[in-house]
Amino acid sequence: MPWLAIAGGIKLLGGLFGARSSIRAGKDTKILAGMNANYIRQETYEQSRRLKFQQERTRGTVRANIAASGFRSGKKTKGASFKAYESVLAREQKSELDWLYKSGKSRANIAIRGGDSQARQLRSQGTAQLFSGVAGAASTWGSI
């Protein structure tokens, strides 16, 4: 009969250690998701910096090509064709940059939500392991 008491204790300890491990893993998962989200934000910032540089080069190249071509809109338009094109180009480049920011923010939020979801699941698993260990021990001790 003493072996039943020992078996019950082992079931209880197994449940406690399993619960502790799952809860700790949930916390680690949440931390990792936050780190991943920060990395995504940094990556988005770097991509936006490079995109802005590329866009400035594109605008400079357009200006240089138009100037080198000797293109003139005419005295009546006062360069309106070039200004209209430059305006369209600026709007398109802004739209591209806005999309990059929106996409980066979305990916970071998804990483955090995914980590939160996994953490909740691991905490629930830990709680289930705890109750399973307590129930197993109670069942074993009840048969003594």
Segment 24-53, tens digit of pLDDT: 898 999 999 999 999 999 999 999 999 999
Share of the chain above pLDDT 70, in %: 89
Q: How confident is the model at residue 104 (pLDDT cuts 50, 70, 90)?
A: very high
Examine the pLDDT at 94 and tell me if it is beyond 70. yes
For the chain, what is the mean pLDDT? 85
> Which of 39-56 are b and which e, b meaning 16 or more Cβ less than 10 Å from the residue's Cβ?
ebeeebeeebeeeeeebe
Report pTM.
Answer: 0.71
* pLDDT classification of 115: cutoffs 50, 70, 90: very high
Whose tokens are 């480049």? That residue is 93
CA 18 from centre of chain: 28
Minimal CA–CA distance to 138: which of 8, 2, 1, 33? 8
| Over residues 100-112, mean pLDDT | 97
Domain ranges, residue 133: 2-142
pLDDT, mean of residues 72-91: 74
Number of domains in the chain: 1
